Structure 1
Amino acid sequence: MKLSTILNSLFLSGLAFTQKAQVYYSCSVPNTIAFTIDDGPTEKIPELLNALDEAGIVATFYVNCNNLMKDTNGQPTALVKPYLQEIFKRGHEIGSHTYNHACLTPTCQLNNPGMLLMDTKETFTEQIKLNEDFIYNAIGVYPATYRAPFGEGQNPGAVNETMLEWLYELGYPYAIHWDIETQDMEYSFSNGDDFALQKAIEHYSSEVGQKDTLITLQHAIPVTIEKIIPWVRDVWKPAHPNMKFVKVSECLGLTDKDIYKTSPGPKTDSNTPSGNVSGKVNSSNNNSGANSIFSGLLITTILVLFNILLNNY
């Protein structure tokens, strides 16, 4: 077999190689903690933003634009858009959590009656596009980070490679998981706020909670606003003076340019914001996702050049 034929096969294999979103389970920048909020907006957003300001915490919100605030027609209420704008205006970060907090698997839907199912590429794409369009209409940029509802498809030991391929194609190279899930909503609803606070304290005080890089998961509900954030402010922060609360982008060594887009679709140079997107942009840039993209393109380019040279001799 000719060397050119072999290289041509390698080239075609390179073209067929599918890029996937990368799952992040913790921060990569030492001494950083990313405080994240899922499932909102909720009607508690004004109080939550004030509590975060008082605690000196910048947060990252993974939002469902049509989940907890619906009108009688099942559409987002008039408050969802201004709430997103206020979150963004305050310097917090916004990522996608699907439009309706949909389930990726029938098992999830069975365990959560009323949830929509997005187990096909078409239904998954619809959930992403509806959400990102609403976000864009509110803040003027599209998100490029994603957190799966219930962690489906990105939970440790249960990663769905197909979902990661879909995400990447849709322009979401970053799938964000967490180190600590406070279970604030679960415990608050089942056992009351005091019990939920105690469980959150146990999570923050656990062995995992002593790491120097953390992503924590909370919700925009009363117990988080009235008890968990004040405890973090008054107890956890003073006990961890070297830890800095930052947006997810900063804790991963990224910038606003990495985690937002000016147009939908795959993340490219052409839809990367040309300037700072929010008022609190960090300066670090250790874009591991972009590096993997560049590496794939470089390999393909080298194969193309070899193929051209060999066919000319």
Structure 2
Amino acid sequence: MNLVRIAALLALTFSPFSLANPVPDSQDQTLAKRSPVPFGVYIDRCSVPGTIALTFDDGPHVFTPKVLDILRSRGARATFFVNGQSAGNIYANAGVIQRAIAEGHQLGSHTWGHPSLVGLDYNGIVDQMLALESAFVQLVGRIPTYMRPPFLAVDGLVLSAMAQLGYHVIGASIDTKDYENDNPAAIQNSLVKFRNELNAGGTISLAHDVRQWTVDVLVQAMVDEVAARGLRMVPVGECLGDPADLWYRNPR
């Protein structure tokens, strides 16, 4: 066990959000050997031809069920990068989390409180991840192996921490910037951006299931656009060729 790993485990032990049993090295090694997706590497494009990954950040939220309804109506599956406490609270929306998994969507970590991880020290980064892991353990009994850094912000320390904690780091090659266009007059700008970046070869999109006009207008428009192009809407793990049983791991 290397010194960085020891530091990570000490951080887990003394963090206020620590879990009782750190992941043994054998679980890390097994996941790494089986998965074609590396840990601690920033990835923003699918590798499986003909697929696109629609992803939604900052939930779970009271708007999220409508997104799930739209996706279900078109047989589409997506990825939700969730927070513990941001626009909504994960415990207050436990049913949304459980429904998303039951309907075949993938859940990933977006940290507990949505801070930029860049600028935090190592223990601060670890605390953000473990706080959300604790909620996942309580709600679904497993923790995700995929994460998206808030604001898509990473540096060497963040990537090193994610590698040590066993996380695949997901960015975006289609960024709708829907948070800038959350009104009926402007939301079409996000759809235009989605189309343009899809035309440019983007395959992992970013939107927010906590924005009213994203949920009321943009989600349906994106799904219709992708369906018209004959692309398969799948979770991030699937678009990267990662078996579904590797999208989550046992509690630490």
Tell me, yes or no, whether TM beats 0.5: yes
| 1:247–1:105 distance in 2 versus 1, CA, 3 Å | closer
CA distance in 1, matches of 2:146, 2:192: 28
Question: Alpha-carbon deviation of 1:80?
Answer: 2.3
Rg larger in structure:
1
Q: Find the counterpart in structure 2 of residue 164 from structure 1.
A: 159
Preserved contact between residue 106 and residue 247 of structure 2 (Cα < 8 Å): no
* Structure 1 range deviating more: 243-252 or 209-218: 209-218
CA distance in 2, matches of 1:99, 1:263: 17
Runs of 4+ in 1 over 4 A off after TM superposition: 15-20
Q: Find the counterpart in structure 2 of residue 310 from structure 1.
A: none
CA distance in 1, matches of 2:195, 2:118: 33
Q: Find the counterpart in structure 2 of residue 219 from structure 1.
A: 208
User: Any idea what the Cα deviations from partners look like across 1:261-309, whole Å, max 9, x if unmatched?
Assistant: 0122xxxxxxxxxxxxxxxxxxxxxxxxxxxxxxxxxxxxxxxxxxxxx
Q: Which runs of 5+ in 1 are unaligned?
A: 1-14, 71-75, 107-118, 154-159, 265-313
Preserved contact between residue 226 and residue 233 of structure 2 (Cα < 8 Å): no
CA distance in 1, matches of 2:105, 2:224: 21
Q: Find the counterpart in structure 1 of residue 192 from structure 2.
A: 202
Preserved contact between residue 175 and residue 194 of structure 2 (Cα < 8 Å): no
Question: Alpha-carbon deviation of 1:211?
Answer: 5.1
User: Any idea what the Cα deviations from partners look like across 1:122-179, whole Å, max 9, x if unmatched?
Assistant: 11111000101101211121111110000110xxxxxx1121111111121x100011
Greater relative contact order: 1 or 2 (C-alpha under 8 angstroms, separation 6 or more)?
A: 2
Q: Structure 1: which amino acid aligns with 2:219?
A: I
Question: Alpha-carbon deviation of 1:235?
Answer: 4.0
Q: Find the counterpart in structure 2 of residue 7 from structure 1.
A: none
* Equivalent of residue 107 in structure 2, options 94, 98, 103: 94
Q: Find the counterpart in structure 1 of residue 176 from structure 2.
A: 182
CA distance in 2, matches of 1:233, 1:61: 15
User: Any idea what the Cα deviations from partners look like across 1:211-255, whole Å, max 9, x if unmatched?
Assistant: 5660001111221222112223434421x02x1101100100101
Q: Structure 2: which amino acid aligns with 1:217?
A: L
Aligned 1:133-144 pairs, distance under 5 A = 133-144=134-145
2:185 is paired with a residue of what secondary structure? helix
Q: Which runs of 5+ in 2 are unaligned?
A: 6-37
Q: Find the counterpart in structure 2 of residue 57 from structure 1.
A: 76
Identical amino acids, percent of aligned pairs: 27
Q: Structure 1: which amino acid aligns with 2:180?
A: E
Question: Alpha-carbon deviation of 1:195?
Answer: 1.1
Preserved contact between residue 70 and residue 219 of structure 2 (Cα < 8 Å): yes
CA distance in 1, matches of 2:118, 2:178: 24
| 1:236–1:83 distance in 2 versus 1, CA, 3 Å | closer
Question: Alpha-carbon deviation of 1:105?
Answer: 4.0
CA distance in 2, matches of 1:129, 1:230: 34
CA distance in 2, matches of 1:213, 1:205: 9
| 1:67–1:87 distance in 2 versus 1, CA, 3 Å | same
CA distance in 1, matches of 2:77, 2:205: 12
Q: Find the counterpart in structure 1 of residue 125 from structure 2.
A: 124
CA distance in 1, matches of 2:194, 2:137: 34
1:217 is paired with a residue of what secondary structure? strand
Preserved contact between residue 84 and residue 135 of structure 1 (Cα < 8 Å): no
2:129 is paired with a residue of what secondary structure? helix
Preserved contact between residue 28 and residue 213 of structure 1 (Cα < 8 Å): no
Scaled by the length of structure 1, the TM-score of the pair is 0.65
| 1:193–1:55 distance in 2 versus 1, CA, 3 Å | farther
Question: Alpha-carbon deviation of 1:20?
Answer: 5.9
Q: CA RMSD in A?
A: 2.1
Scaled by the length of structure 2, the TM-score of the pair is 0.80
Aligned 1:35-46 pairs, distance under 5 A = 35-46=54-65
Preserved contact between residue 38 and residue 63 of structure 1 (Cα < 8 Å): yes
CA distance in 2, matches of 1:20, 1:51: 32
| 1:236–1:169 distance in 2 versus 1, CA, 3 Å | closer
